[in-house]
Amino acid sequence: KNAFNSLPRAEVVRALNEAGVPKVLVDYIRNFLDLRHSRDVKCKVCGVPQGDPLSMFLFCMATERLLRHLEERGITFLA
């Protein structure tokens, strides 16, 4: 539930850095995430904007990082 809104932005940035995305692009994406306005004030450090074409990519990058770490620890799963 609310996967896009619950994703910590720091995880997105970590995933981008680990993937070797150039710093200038990571900084641009960080600003894109941090400077957006929302009525939901529950989490100022969470969420990627729904409906933006970049959001699905960012969500996938961060969740792929999580899944990779789980696999490294022997946790397997099926989708």
Q: Assess if residue 20 is contained within a domain.
A: yes
**49-64 tens-digit pLDDT:** 888 899 999 999 999 9
Q: What is the pLDDT of residue 41?
A: 55
Q: Assess if residue 56 is contained within a domain.
A: yes
Q: Assess if residue 78 is contained within a domain.
A: no
What's the DSSP call for residue 20?
A: T
- Measured CA to CA, the distance from residue 27 to residue 42 in angstroms comes to 24
Q: Assess if residue 46 is contained within a domain.
A: yes
**32-48 tens-digit pLDDT:** 988 876 565 556 678 88
Q: Assess if residue 79 is contained within a domain.
A: no
Determine if the pTM surpasses 0.85.
no
Nearest to 8 by CA among 65, 54, 48: 48
Determine the structural domain holding residue 28 and report its residue range: 3-72
Q: Assess if residue 52 is contained within a domain.
A: yes
Please give the tally of structural domains in the chain.
1
